[in-house]
Amino acid sequence: MAYGPSGLTVLETEVPTFGVSAFDSRPLFPSERWQECHPHEGLAPQICSTSEYATWTDIWITNHILQAVIAAILVIGFWLIVSHKPQVVPSKRQWIGEYVYTMIRNGVAREIIGDNYHKYVPWLVAMFTFIIVNNLFGSFFLFMFPTFSKVGFVWGFAIITWILYNAVGIKKWGFFPYVKKMIVPHGVPGPILILVTPLEFLSNFIIRPITLALRLFANLFAGHLLVMIFVVGGTYLLTQIKDNIIYNVAGGFSLLISFGIFALELLVAYLQAYIFVVLTAQYVSSAQEEAH
């Protein structure tokens, strides 16, 4: 992939080569104009801006959107299955569902939010399971791409969290009292407020959703990028550079390292989903607590 004038993308091939196009969203039902601007290998590349070639189906019905839809179906199906005909002595499937639900309810919602935590548990549980399923797609052979390494999906979740905790605070305190509570720390001397108030505003209303989104995105993006580098590099050294034992050994070692990174990605998939939920609960708690 290269760039033409005005930053317009030039795609030299529609078919991914060695995984270098893994991060590109591709329409499931490409329009004729999209196909003209994304010629197959061997044809001359063209320079097309999004406004020139993309229809709404090219933008909104893509492989990565499909991944998110599949994840939603899997999450809904999971909770329907594990909650079907609950028993006093739980079956194995019921135990799995209860374990996940209890972990978020008791370990996150009740511990962080406090007395009125019940109303937030369904959203926190749904968010945790949806994020972790999309994260695990990066290690699943049919997908091999974590959905949240596309930053647009992460911004969506961060905006929902931002709306949630601000709506909770405004509902409890009223608009202006809530804003004052969030940007004017209790007990700070007047002259220092000139410096502190803008910082508190940036921290609570601007920086929070940005860091929440970038933390999840950066970890998933970097992890998948590392896997791609070691797999692509190792494959190249083994298949494209022949009769060189040093390159071949390095290529084999690179592929072995990629398996270790895959294992690490499983841990990162869980941790980042859990951290996102914990921070969401923390922001809700801070919006409704008595003292800032």
Residue with tokens 């990162």: 268
Mean pLDDT of 26-31: 85
Return phi, psi of residue 2, to 5°.
-130, 180
Domain ranges of the chain: 1-61, 63-288
Number of CB atoms found within 10 A of residue 218's CB:
14
Q: Give the pair of three-digit tokens for residue 280.
A: 């969401």
d(CA 256, CA 237): 13
Q: Which of 41, 67, 223, 58 is nearest to 134 (CA)?
A: 67
Residue 48, pLDDT above cutoff 80: no
Tokens 């709404």 correspond to: 56
Least confident of 105-109, 138-142, 181-185, 288-292: 288-292
Residues in the chain: 292
**Which residues on neighbouring strands pair with residue 62, listed in sequence order?**
27
pTM for the model stands at 0.84
Task: Assess whether pLDDT exceeds 90 at residue 246.
Answer: no
How far is residue 13's CA from residue 32's CA, in Å, rounded to a whole number? Answer: 16
Point out the least confidently predicted range of 183-192, 225-234, 257-266: 183-192
Using alpha carbons, select from 69, 4, 63, 71 the residue that is nearest to residue 30. 63
Give tens-digit pLDDT for 196-208: 899 999 999 999 9
Structure confidence at residue 113 (pLDDT) = 93
Residue with tokens 């992460």: 154
Which residue has better confidence, 285 or 84? Answer: 285
Q: Over the chain, what is the mean pLDDT?
A: 85
